[in-house]
């Protein structure tokens, strides 16, 4: 007959015995604590004072293997530790949106390090004046009049030409987007109508820079080359716009945009 595994439970009113799986095992109350051995070293876990209702223990001379050590527990509860204080978060300034009926857009072209203006038009809608420059690599332009910055902007995908795929391709070459390298750079410059006129075009200056290292900063009143002198390299510059020397069609475009 199989050996008895469980002691029979007594009904209410009778003394209850503990349930054990193996009669040869001692009850928990009868077992004395022994040293805990890791490898060839012995570590003891001793009871220390109670903190916040919790009984804390600390280890003494506990070594695991030859080089790993468990630091002695200080006995300080986590709740009692002082939280690290961090500085107040800075509010990032959003671009200033100026409510105007329209702004002026100048179309610029860079070829062999020379900047020329190839178009001018009036664009309906408000004007966004950026106050922060975030650029890992690439080009950025700046428009100034004297020492005053009128506008700046980042030029994405410079030096490449992209086209949409042919919806009805006749061969493999016409499938997908077409991307080709360009030796010219085209970009648009935006200025407020109050900042530019036919008479002030001669004092308008457009500078084009290439980044040498990443920039993420709020702009000051200084021009880009002074604020980021070690992070920018000037590629090209248009010192003035002499409308009398422009083609007749372009003169008409300026007349229409600025009047």
Helix (H) or strand (E) holding 249: helix 248-258
The pLDDT of residue 56: 47
For 22-55, give one letter per residue: b (16+ CB within 10 A) or e: eeeeeeeeeeeeeeeeeeeeeeeeeeeeeeeeee
The pLDDT of residue 1: 47
Looking up tokens 């004092």, which residue turns up?
203
The pLDDT of residue 255: 92
The pLDDT of residue 131: 83
CB of 95 closer than 8 Å to CB of 131? yes
Q: What is d(CA 255, CA 259) in angstroms, rounded to the nearest whole number?
A: 6
pLDDT beneath 70, residues of the chain: 1-23, 25-82, 90-93, 157-162, 177-182
The pLDDT of residue 157: 67
The pLDDT of residue 72: 56
């Amino acid at each position: 007959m199989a050996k008895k595994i469980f002691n029979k439970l007594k009904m209410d009113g009778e003394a209850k015995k503990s349930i054990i799986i193996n009669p040869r095992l001692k009850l928990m109350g009868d077992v004395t604590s022994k040293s805990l051995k890791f490898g060839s070293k012995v570590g003891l876990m001793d009871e220390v004072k109670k903190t916040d209702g919790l009984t804390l223990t600390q280890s003494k001379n506990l070594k695991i293997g030859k080089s790993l050590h468990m630091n002695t527990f200080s006995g300080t509860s986590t709740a009692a530790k002082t939280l690290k204080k961090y500085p107040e978060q800075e509010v990032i300034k959003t671009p200033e949106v100026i409510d105007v009926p329209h702004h002026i857009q100048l179309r610029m072209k860079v070829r062999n390090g020379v900047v020329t203006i190839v178009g001018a038009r009036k664009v309906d809608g408000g004007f966004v004046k950026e106050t922060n420059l975030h650029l890992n690599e690439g080009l950025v332009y700046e428009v100034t009049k004297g020492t005053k910055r009128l506008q700046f902007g980042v030029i994405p995908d410079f030096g490449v030409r992209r086209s949409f795929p042919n919806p009805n391709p006749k061969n493999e070459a016409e499938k997908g987007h077409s991307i080709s390298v360009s030796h010219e750079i085209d970009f648009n410059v935006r200025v407020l109508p109050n900042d530019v006129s036919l008479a002030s075009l001669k004092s308008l200056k457009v500078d084009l820079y290439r980044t040498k290292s990443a920039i993420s900063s709020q702009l000051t009143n200084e021009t880009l080359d002074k604020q980021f002198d070690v992070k920018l390299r000037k590629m090209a510059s248009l010192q003035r716009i002499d409308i009398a020397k422009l083609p007749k069609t372009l003169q008409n475009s300026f007349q229409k945009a600025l009047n």
